[in-house]
């Protein structure tokens, strides 16, 4: 199956994307320090029944960098991606999938453009502002890693910042053990990663709230790795408990980055949900 790469100018921004398959449209949004290529295994597994559209978030892959300031990067992403769907002539209904930061962007798309989406799947969305809203002790994980990234970048130590980010999610030594080309990409995108963490806080203008999530009205699946961090687990549980009718599914032995690093642990559950939401075709 061919995976086609393309670019579009949307609102003055360059948006790069991959597209593959045929059938009902599915929009795929990747995690921080990744790009649209993380969905290759999913595209190859189900391109016979889905038209997969996977953009690079701004600042990742081949897309242009987001503007600094307000609105924050995930909100800019949502606006650009909605424009990309228009550019590609995809009117809906679209099934929407977001992993980690992609899950944050997905939540903004549902809040601001919900009518065009048929279902929502979020894989450990990093909506850490919800933990501040709950005043949960687990909020300290997000606050500490955000502070660490910005301090290390301020001190001119981007490599230390990249190591802190990767090891935060995958454990001590994970960054050092990476293939050089993957480690170099993590290093090259660490500025956007730091902005991603900052953008997830409750004080950020336009941040997602439980009240907004409670207004979502579409079938929703929340996937969470069994071996993830406590803060990410609580966010997933909170999202599933807040969106009406949402279902939480725990993936055995999976970590936060599983959708990008070990997709075989995620894709079966993801495809089972997508298949269950497919609209009947005309005879």
Domain-embedded: residue 87: yes
Domain-embedded: residue 92: yes
Domain-embedded: residue 221: yes
What is the number of structural domains in the chain?
A: 1
Domain-embedded: residue 176: no
| Predicted pLDDT at 283 | 37
For residue 218, give the CATH number of its domain: 3.40.50.1820
| Predicted pLDDT at 282 | 35
Domain-embedded: residue 53: yes
The pTM of the full predicted model, rounded to 2 decimals, is: 0.96
Domain-embedded: residue 175: no
Region 179-193: what's the mean pLDDT?
97
Percent of all residues in the chain with a pLDDT value above 90, rounded to a whole number = 94
Domain-embedded: residue 189: no
- DSSP letters, 15-69, are EEEEEEE-SEEEEEE--TT--GGGGHHHHHHHTTTEEEEEEPPTTSTTSPPPPSS
| Predicted pLDDT at 281 | 53
Domain-embedded: residue 7: yes
To the nearest whole number, what is the mean pLDDT of the chain?
95
The per-residue pLDDT for range 257-272, each reduced to its tens digit, is 999 999 999 999 999 9
Q: Measuring CA to CA, which residue among 281, 275, 213 is closest to residue 45?
A: 275
d(CA 77, CA 74): 5
Q: What residue numbers bound the domain in which 120 lies?
A: 3-127+205-277
The per-residue pLDDT for range 68-102, each reduced to its tens digit, is 888 899 999 999 999 999 999 998 799 999 999 99
- Whole-angstrom CA distances from 244 to 157, 210, 212 are 43, 11, 11
Write out the two tokens for 22.
């045929």
């Amino acid at each position: 199956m061919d995976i086609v790469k393309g670019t579009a100018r949307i609102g003055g921004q360059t948006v790069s994307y991959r597209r593959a398959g045929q059938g009902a449209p599915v929009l795929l949004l990747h995690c921080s320090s990744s790009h649209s290529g993380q969905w290759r295994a999913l595209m190859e597994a189900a391109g016979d029944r889905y038209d997969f559209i996977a953009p690079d978030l701004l600042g990742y892959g081949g897309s242009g960098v987001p503007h600094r300031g307000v609105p924050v990067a995930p909100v800019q992403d949502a606006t650009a991606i909605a424009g990309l769907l228009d550019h590609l002539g995809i009117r809906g209904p679209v099934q929407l999938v977001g992993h980690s930061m992609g899950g944050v962007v997905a939540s903004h798309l549902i809040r601001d453009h919900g009518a065009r989406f048929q279902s929502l799947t979020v894989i450990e969305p990093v909506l850490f502002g919800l933990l501040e809203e709950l005043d949960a002790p687990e909020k300290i994980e997000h606050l500490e890693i955000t502070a660490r990234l910005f301090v290390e970048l301020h001190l001119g130590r981007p490599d230390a910042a990249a190591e802190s980010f990767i090891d935060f999610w995958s454990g001590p030594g994970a960054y050092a053990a990476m293939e050089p080309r993957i480690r170099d990409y993590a290093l090259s995108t660490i500025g956007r990663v730091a902005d991603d963490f900052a953008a997830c806080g409750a004080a950020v203008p336009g941040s997602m709230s439980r009240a907004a999530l409670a207004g979502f009205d579409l079938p929703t699946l929340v996937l969470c790795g069994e071996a993830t961090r406590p803060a990410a687990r609580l966010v997933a549980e909170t999202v599933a408990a807040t969106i009406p009718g949402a279902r939480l599914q725990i993936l055995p032995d999976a970590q936060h980055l599983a959708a990008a690093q070990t997709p075989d642990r995620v894709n079966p559950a993801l495809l089972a949900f997508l298949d269950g939401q497919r609209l009947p075709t005309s005879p």
